[in-house]
Every structure is written in C-alpha cells, then in structure tokens.
Amino acid sequence: MAVAEACSCSCSAKLPADGFRRDWTVSEVVALLGRPMNDLIFEAHAIHRQHFDPNRVQLSQLLSIKTGGCPEDCKYCPQSARYDTELKAEKLLEIEAVLAEARAAKANGATRFCMGAAWRSPKERDLDKVCAMVEGVKGLGLETCVTLGMLDAAQARRLKDAGLDYYNHNIDTSPEFYGEIISTRTFADRLDTLGHVRAAGLNVCCGGIVGMGEGREHRAGMLLALANMPQHPESVPINMLVQVEGTPLFGEGALDPFEFVRTVAAARIMMPASLVRLSAGREAMSDELQALCFFAGANSIFYGEKLLTTPNPAEGRDAKLFARLGVEPL
Ligand code: SAM
Ligand code: DTB
Ligand code: SF4
C-alpha cells in the first residue's frame, strides 16, 4: 500500500494513499481508548469537523420485518428461540405493511429505512419478498438497508440488483471475545458475509455492541477489526447492550457511560469519514450523554420509538434534544 502523508490524529503513523490507516495494533487502540478524556474527544471532534458538518445527524428508522424464533444463540438477543424472553415470534411481514411503515418513517424525517429479520440466513423464497420490499422502499425515495443474517455471494448480488443501498452485518465484538457471546457461528463467518456484501457493490453497515462484560482490550479489538478492513464500513453502529430479561446477558454489570463515549470517539478517529451511529441503548441514556457522543463524533441515530423489538426514544424527545443542541437532520 502506498504511503502518502502523516496521520491527522496524534499517532506518528503514515497513511495509505486513500488517506486512512488500516494498520492499527491492539496496543495502539487500547492506548487511544485510555487517553485522558478531554484529549480523546477533542481529537475526535477535530477529525469529525474535517469530514462532516458537526451540527447534522443522520436519521435511520428500523423495522423488524421478521421477529423472533431465531435459531442462533447470541447471548444479547431477545429474538433467539433459545431464551425465554416473552417475545412472540412472528412470520415475515407483508410488503404493504412494510411500505406503510416506510412512508411514515419518511414523513417523520428519516432518510434511511433499515429492515431486520431474525434469521441465521435468508431462504430463497424469503429473499424474493425482501427484494420486493427493497424495491418498494427505494421507490419512496428512502435509502434502503437490510440485515438478514449470513448471505452467500449470489444472495448479496440479488439484493444489490433489487436496489439495496446498505447491508447491516455487525461483527458485534472482538474476534477474541466472540466465542463468549455466540457459539452457533464464528467471527470468520461474519467476515465471509461482509466480503460477499462488498463484492456485490453494496455499502457496508457494520459495528458492534459494548457493555457485554468485555474488557477495554476487546472494545479495542472490535474497533481494530472494523478499521483495518480493506475498506472502512460506510456506517458504523455502536450499540450499548439493551439488557432484556431472559437473555444470558441480562444482569451484566453496566458499562461506565464514559467508556461508551470513548468507544465512539475512537471509532471517529479510526474511521474518519464513516457515519458513526449512536445505536441501541439511547433509551437509557441521558440527553447529556447523547450530546457528548455527538461531540465525540457520532453523527447518526436510530430514529422512531422502537428499535427492532425494544424501545427507543420517542420522536418528540429526539426533536427536543436536537432543538436544544442546534442539531439538524442530515
Ligand atoms: N439476525 C441478523 C444478524 O444477527 O445478523 C440480523 C438482525 S440482528 C437483531 C442485528 C444486530 O442487532 C445484531 O448484530 C446486534 O449487533 C444487534 N442487537 C441485537 N440485540 C441487541 C441488544 N439486546 N442490544 C444491542 N444490540 C443488539
Ligand atoms: C444495529 O447495529 N443495531 C440495530 C440494527 N443494527 C439492526 C438493532 C438493535 C437491536 C436492539 C435490540 C432489539 O430492539 O431487539
Ligand atoms: Fe438471531 Fe440476529 Fe438475534 Fe443473533 S442477533 S439471535 S442471529 S436475530
């Protein structure tokens, strides 16, 4: 890789020709996460300003198009059939119901509509329906995103042909911690799907979850795995674990909120031009904590009163927060 110029952050590394490093080491990222807070967020904010209007935040709306009954064993997830979470499994929604939600999302100001399914991977006849949903939502003038589990190369191409803009597929945590959280698939499986998504020419939405009992070295490992990808994900959701009763991670000790802010800031520094999304967990966050996350480089949120199955702040609360901060939708 051609080396062009010195890095814009405080490290002494050289940059590849496209301007972004992809050679982070765990010790470097642990050190970054552990810097004095003011130094860390000052640097993240400065980098944020080089690439984005700091007063604009992008709004994505989620819809669960197939809820519950998932065969996977992700310890954080209320939709796994293995845990007793009182969530009722539902079948794939009809296209008209999805389009009605998408129209409402657009009317509320969302620019991206993200459809999630509780699948390990989609079956072909399900994919036919999802492709029709993508075409319909795209026709409304919204950006489209789906998250359907693992894909093969042909499935990724079919979604691209249907007009899909983004595929969400999170690495969730570091490769080292992955086996503590999920046993029914591997970290390498995740990377395979991400490879098919990229090869199909789709934009990548890929991030993870913090607050699952991981250590700072695991948060560093997760960020490193994202930032050292051949191309940075265009969207990077940083989720705070939403603890759902019945899942194995219910009752996990809460993460220091400043550690969440540090993760957001490091994501901004390491992936300067990506949308960093302050994702799940906002319902339990104060307005002040969210404002600090925006200052540290978060510039996207999930909008609307529900994530997939759990609550998210109502539009009214977000609208008030944006007005108080002078932030406008992107
Ligand atoms: N089944 C597909 C998959 O796992 O790729 C798509 C849907 S899955 C619900 C999408 C993502 O939601 C997961 O990868 C995880 O990062 C996030 N997620 C699920 N449950 C969560 C929770 N309780 N708290 C925070 N994030 C969660
Ligand atoms: C992502 O990173 N977070 C979203 C979306 N991508 C699909 C999902 C959050 C789910 C939170 C738990 C729930 O509502 O079921
Ligand atoms: Fe299934 Fe996705 Fe939940 Fe894992 S995160 S249990 S794959 S819906």
Residue-wise DSSP of 218-260: HHHHHHHHHHTSSS--SEEEEEEP---TTSTTTTPPPPPHHHH
Give me the pLDDT at residue 184, please: 98
pLDDT interval class at 15 (50, 70, 90): low
Any idea what the Cα angle at residue 291 is, between residues 287 and 296, rounded to 5°? 150
Tell me which of 185, 277, 282, 293 is the catalytic residue.
Answer: 277
Mean pLDDT of 316-320: 95
Hey, CA dihedral for 176, 179, 182, 188, is it positive or negative? positive
Mean pLDDT of 214-222: 98
pTM equals 0.95
Tell me which of 9, 21, 112, 114 is the catalytic residue.
Answer: 114
**pLDDT tens string 86-119:** 999 999 999 999 999 999 999 999 999 999 999 9
* H-run or E-run covering 145: strand 143-147
How far, in Å, CA of 151 to CA of 190, rounded? 9
The residue count of the chain comes to 330
Any idea what the Cα angle at residue 163 is, between residues 59 and 77, rounded to 5°? 55
Mean pLDDT of 66-82: 98
pLDDT interval class at 10 (50, 70, 90): low
> Using an 8 Å Cβ cutoff, are 210 and 239 in contact?
yes
- Tell whether ligand 1 has an atom less than 6 A from the beta carbon of residue 64: no
3 versus 22: the higher-pLDDT residue is: 22
Probe ligand 1: pick from 64, 65, 74, max atoms within 8 Å of CB?
A: 74
Probe ligand 2: pick from 65, 236, 302, max atoms within 8 Å of CB?
A: 302
Give me the pLDDT at residue 315, please: 85
- Asked if residue 285 has pLDDT above 80, the reply is yes
Interacting residues of 303 by C-beta distance below 8 A, sequence separation 6+: 59, 60, 61, 105, 108, 109, 110, 312, 315, 318
Give me the pLDDT at residue 19, please: 82
**pLDDT tens string 151-186:** 999 999 999 999 999 999 999 999 999 999 999 999
Mean pLDDT of 292-308: 97
Mean pLDDT of 223-250: 97
How far, in Å, CA of 206 to CA of 185, rounded? 17
Cα-to-centroid distance, 173 and ligand 2 (Å): 14
- Asked if residue 1 has pLDDT above 50, the reply is no
How far, in Å, CA of 254 to CA of 259, rounded? 11
Give me the pLDDT at residue 2, please: 37
- Asked if residue 134 has pLDDT above 60, the reply is yes
Give me the pLDDT at residue 7, please: 53
Question: Looking at the CA of 236, which ligand is closest?
Answer: 2
Tell me which of 74, 131, 206, 293 is the catalytic residue.
Answer: 74
Give me the pLDDT at residue 13, please: 53
- Asked if residue 3 has pLDDT above 50, the reply is no
How far, in Å, CA of 145 to CA of 166, rounded? 4
Mean pLDDT of 292-307: 97
Give me the pLDDT at residue 4, please: 44
